[in-house]
Structure 1
Amino acid sequence: MAPVEQDPLLLLRQSIASGSSIMPTASADADAPEVSLSQATHLTFTSPVRTSLPIDTPTRFVPKDTPVDLRSIYFAWLNRDVAIPEYNSFALQLNQDLGGKAQVHKFAYMERLDLITWLESASEDNELIKPLAGDKDGSVSTAAAALASKGAAAPAIGSTLGRSGKGTLDPRLASIYNSERKMGDRNSVLRGIKPTDFSHVRKLAAIFMTKKPLHVPSSHTASSTTIASHQKQKRPDPIILLSPSASSLLRMSNIKSFLESSQYVPPNSLSASSTSANMLHINRLIKDIDANRPMRFILVEGTEQFKPEYWNRVVAVFTTGQTWQFKNYKWSNPTELFRHVPGIFVGWRGEQPPESVRAWGHRVMNVAVDRWNNPGTTTVDSSRWRDREAVEGIWKAIESNMRAKGWKRDQAPASI
């Protein structure tokens, strides 16, 4: 296979652009199942053809003269939405799971930002990515990356050696080059490749920031200022806590399918993809709070990374009735906890909930789903139409609680 097609960075970028699956696997076999990143020995790309590369393969992303391995690049992509402190915490956990066999590279802020921007095809240039061998002017890598960003397969190296007499140019690429429009990235637009230090501006601005206004604004001006400030505020994301118990019917692996698509699959079934994610996002339109844009909910199993103010954003707690779940909560006593946050217990239809759940009374909502009768099925059972009824009941309870607690279009309640 041509070197361009085997390049880990281009394969990853092409797979992201086309939306094809990327799976950590424990071998290079064609039928190897997906495993956790700590157990993986290969990273398998399913498009344009199934290709498996060793997960510790060095890549062309070379900060400080040290190539970053494929595992670290893929891990950075999986955690692209989390803040640097949380990312470092996840990286430390993965390093512990690896047991000293390898270490995940800890990216600096600008390194990770530039890498994610390039992987998302938002930029064609990255000074930390070395050109491919024999590609000094970047013609091959740029052409392959451009095609990858459009979801096309990367071309073979022999047919795209370049322009201006540097080999035979593929007619398809010639057509693309004739129609291409030069686009500048943020570096070329700003006329430079090094970040500019604007820290001196803070000292100059401090004088103006500390001055008090010399007059009280009129009611009209004050109202306009308040509205503008109100519109610029970023809406916080509500938080839903899941039970980390292995007996829970809803885990990180199947909660997204359940709450977003109203489709229940067992956490360990083939149709519920295994995941080592510590946090998930789902979207839901809450018309009584904001009819114009969906709200993004954060789903987590643990509260280890919680700041005190995060508790004001918790809108539901899924529980199995085991009180050890609440050990590190702000309110470790279940009775006190469910005075502030609604509880949700999901069990099998026809079975009684645990005695502890019944003892907590109406503050914990009991939801029943049909048993899973097709353990070998890899697709959603179309007969499970009552799942939607159960999910809508859960969302109705969550929405009612959010309105009662004072959730607004652009702010969370000050306390719950």
Structure 2
Amino acid sequence: MAPTDHDPLLVLRQSISSSQAFIPSASADASAPEVPLSQATHLQFTGLSLSLPIDSPTRFISSDKPVDLRSIYFAWLNRELAIPEYNASATTLNDALAANGSSGKVQNLGFIERLDLITWLEGASEESEYIKPLAGDASAAAAGAAPSSKTGAAALAAQARSGKGTIDPRLASVYDGERRMGDRNTVLRGIKPTDFSHVRKLAIPFIQKKSQSSSAIGSTQSLSINQKGPSRRPDPIILLSPSASSLLRMSNARSFLEDGKFMPPDAGASTASMLHVQRIIPSIDPNRPMRFILVEGSEQFKPEYWNRIVAVFTTGQTWQFKNYKWSNPNELFKHTMGVFVGWRGELAPDNIRGWGHRVMSTSVDRWRGEDDVASRFRDKEVVEYIWKSIEMNMRSKGWRKDAAPTSI
């Protein structure tokens, strides 16, 4: 099979999941040795005996442009780096590419794009708002809306494998021998066409009643209209305080917000510049958990990211908001809610109290070591209180099951 028949993203993901090596090389020969990325013309997938051009465009879209394989490989290679180190490494590589006379350049991905890409490559997520579906998958979905000219389970198997290569002829013959199951079209139609137009007349009163109820919601719904159409709902963002005095940092935020257990921020070292937690938000999507992106800084924010902010954790130090879209805390907390986490029994800082009801003040019991289990039962109560407030804020801003607000 020619290299053009292989999707670079799927090949890379498959190699990662099966722990097969892939290296940059200066030749299309599958046995070529590894070279620095600045000198590479191809990416060799040794386990697959496959070579793909390093500048091959992929289905990952950033700034309305396909990201090339070099940039995808670079992002995976430097997935553990914090944002400043990642940007510095990209600049160094671009300088080396220019010095070697190459017109190629690493496309610098935003922190949310990087997180989404790495999560998908690792297999932790089956969908990404930045990855276009394969053309075969789109055509298969369209074919499913009409009766297929193929018969039996073989047709379903062929549709399911669209864009993933041809099905084995022997397997196809097995599928053809299976009992054919009807789809919604054959079940409704039977052996001759049936006119269901009378059903529409019966449904009109119910449709009109639903439309009247929907119009009463009015302004709340208008906030959550997704201008880009039926794309996947973006992930909401929570900003943490980068202050060393904050009780909630990247090192302990997941255990606190996901598991309801507070650990001191210095108990586990973390170099991650972003992470995600999952949580069911019943009033928005009761059937599947929402993924929340946690980050301490907004340096790599695109303008539209600010519409996805659902909470800002703060210690009350105003320098935290210096690079925010709204650097004045009184203005910031008109657009989103603030959260302060302090020690139980201690007063919140003057700034927190001065910002009023827009910043909720919570407290946890002091940490007395791993053996002090008895005092940690109240952590879950605090976490549930925080999530309930975040949920109310999201609903008021227009978050829906299939859309995020266009402004907050």
Answer whether contact 1:326 1:332 (CA < 8 A) is retained.
Answer: yes
Corresponding residue for residue 333 of structure 1:
328
* Equivalent in 338, 347, 363 of residue 342 of structure 2: 347
What are structure 1's unaligned runs of at least 5 residues?
Answer: 1-12, 19-58, 74-80, 122-183, 192-219, 224-228
* Equivalent in 291, 297, 307 of residue 286 of structure 2: 291
The residue matched to 2:325 in structure 1 has which SS? Answer: coil
Corresponding residue for residue 265 of structure 1:
263
Call closer, same or farther: CA 1:238–1:115 in 2, change over 3 Å.
closer
Amino acid corresponding to residue 67 of structure 1 in structure 2: E
Please provide the CA RMSD for this pair: 4.9
1:238 aligns with 2:205: no
Call closer, same or farther: CA 1:318–1:95 in 2, change over 3 Å.
closer
Task: Please state how far the C-alpha of 1:355 moved relative to its aligned partner.
Answer: 0.8
Q: How many Å separate the matches in 1 of 2:117 and 2:229? A: 30
Over the matched positions of the two proteins, sequence identity in percent amounts to: 52
The residue matched to 2:400 in structure 1 has which SS? Answer: coil
1:366 aligns with 2:328: no
* Equivalent in 301, 314, 317 of residue 319 of structure 1: 314
Answer whether contact 1:281 1:299 (CA < 8 A) is retained.
Answer: yes
Call closer, same or farther: CA 1:310–1:15 in 2, change over 3 Å.
closer
Structural mapping, 1:29-68, within 5 Å: 61-64=23-26, 67=34
Answer whether contact 1:316 1:398 (CA < 8 A) is retained.
Answer: yes
1:281 aligns with 2:248: no
Q: How many Å separate the matches in 1 of 2:96 and 2:362? A: 41
Call closer, same or farther: CA 1:118–1:189 in 2, change over 3 Å.
farther
Answer whether contact 2:240 2:313 (CA < 8 A) is retained.
Answer: yes
Q: Give per-residue Cα distances to partners, 1:116-170, cap 9 Å, x unaligned.
A: 999769xxxxxxxxxxxxxxxxxxxxxxxxxxxxxxxxxxxxxxxxxxxxxxxxx
Q: Give per-residue Cα distances to partners, 1:159-186, cap 9 Å, x unaligned.
A: xxxxxxxxxxxxxxxxxxxxxxxxx997
Answer whether contact 2:365 2:375 (CA < 8 A) is retained.
Answer: no
Corresponding residue for residue 155 of structure 1:
none
Answer whether contact 1:335 1:360 (CA < 8 A) is retained.
Answer: yes
Q: Give per-residue Cα distances to partners, 1:43-96, cap 9 Å, x unaligned.
A: xxxxxxxxxxxxxxxx76243356379xxx9xxxxxxx9976794895761585
What are structure 2's unaligned runs of at least 5 residues?
Answer: 1-13, 28-32, 37-42, 44-59, 98-104, 109-113, 125-160, 169-203, 209-226
What count of residue pairs does the alignment treat as equivalent? 253
Corresponding residue for residue 395 of structure 1:
387
Call closer, same or farther: CA 1:114–1:68 in 2, change over 3 Å.
farther
Corresponding residue for residue 252 of structure 1:
250
The residue matched to 2:285 in structure 1 has which SS? Answer: coil
Q: How many Å separate the matches in 2 of 1:399 and 1:389? A: 15
Call closer, same or farther: CA 1:63–1:118 in 2, change over 3 Å.
farther
The residue matched to 2:254 in structure 1 has which SS? Answer: helix
Structural mapping, 1:168-183, within 5 Å: none
The residue matched to 1:328 in structure 2 has which SS? Answer: coil
Corresponding residue for residue 141 of structure 1:
none
Amino acid corresponding to residue 324 of structure 1 in structure 2: W
Answer whether contact 1:17 1:120 (CA < 8 A) is retained.
Answer: no
Corresponding residue for residue 190 of structure 2:
none
The residue matched to 1:397 in structure 2 has which SS? Answer: helix
Answer whether contact 2:82 2:272 (CA < 8 A) is retained.
Answer: no
Structure number having the greater strand percentage: 2
Q: How many Å separate the matches in 2 of 1:413 and 1:317? A: 17
* Equivalent in 384, 395, 405 of residue 397 of structure 2: 405
Q: TM-score scaled to structure 1, two decimals?
A: 0.50
Q: How many Å separate the matches in 2 of 1:323 and 1:404? A: 26
Amino acid corresponding to residue 318 of structure 2 in structure 1: T
Amino acid corresponding to residue 257 of structure 1 in structure 2: S
Q: TM-score scaled to structure 2, two decimals?
A: 0.51
The residue matched to 1:316 in structure 2 has which SS? Answer: strand
* Equivalent in 376, 380, 386 of residue 384 of structure 1: 376
Q: How many Å separate the matches in 2 of 1:399 and 1:359? A: 24
Q: How many Å separate the matches in 1 of 2:253 and 2:229? A: 32
Answer whether contact 1:240 1:300 (CA < 8 A) is retained.
Answer: yes
Q: How many Å separate the matches in 2 of 1:357 and 1:117? A: 38
